[in-house]
Amino acid sequence: MLHGNFHSSFFALLKEQKIKTAFVLEGRPGLEGAKILCAQLLKQRIQPVLIADNMAGFCFLQGHIKQAWIAYQEDQGESLLCVIGSLIVSILAKRHKVAVKAFPAAKKSAATASQANIFYFAGKRVAAKGVKGFVPLTESVSKNYLTEIYL
């Protein structure tokens, strides 16, 4: 399972490991997983299997996930700053005894986005008028969840 926008050197590592297929979280609200990560995997002849962010738990439960990778933006000492969703991936992986590896991100993202970012999906409004939104884009992941951290 892959989550985040990884530095370009990450894909050589996947090729070394002879990874053929990878589950990819879509990466809402900007859909970076669907747009960027899947395209990079296809260039490396690795088959992405795109899943909705909330499907991670199901995939772990069904035993589909053999290792999890998260992209990190900054080392914060006892934790890493990662894209939102990395914490739940890490918690699920630990619960299901799956290794979690962290690799540097291609770029840093803002801490939050406009609440309007969550109201739309693929250009179409999906939230009712009058709803408020909360859109954190990053979160800290304790190093206690991580099996390996690449620099």
Task: Write the pLDDT tens digit of every residue in 108-119.
Answer: 999 999 988 899
Task: Write the pLDDT tens digit of every residue in 40-64.
Answer: 999 999 999 999 988 999 999 999 9
Q: How many domains does the chain have?
A: 1
Strands, E, within the chain: which ranges? Answer: 2-3, 21-25, 47-51, 67-75, 79-83, 99-104, 120-121, 124-125, 138-142, 148-149
Q: How many CB atoms lie within 10 A of CB 146?
A: 20
Residue 18 belongs to domain with CATH number:
3.40.50.10470
Asked whether the predicted pLDDT for residue 28 surpasses 90, the reply is: no
Average per-residue pLDDT for the chain: 95
pTM: 0.94
pLDDT of 91 reads 98
Between residues 30 and 26, the one the model is more confident about = 26
The backbone torsions φ and ψ at residue 73, rounded to the nearest 5 degrees and listed phi first, read -100, -25
- By residue range, what is the domain housing residue 95? 2-149
pLDDT band for position 18 (cuts 50, 70, 90)? very high
Name 63's Cβ contacts closer than 8 Å, sequence gap at least 6: none
Contact 4, 31 (CB under 8 A): no
Residue 104: cis peptide before it, omega within 30 degrees of 0: no
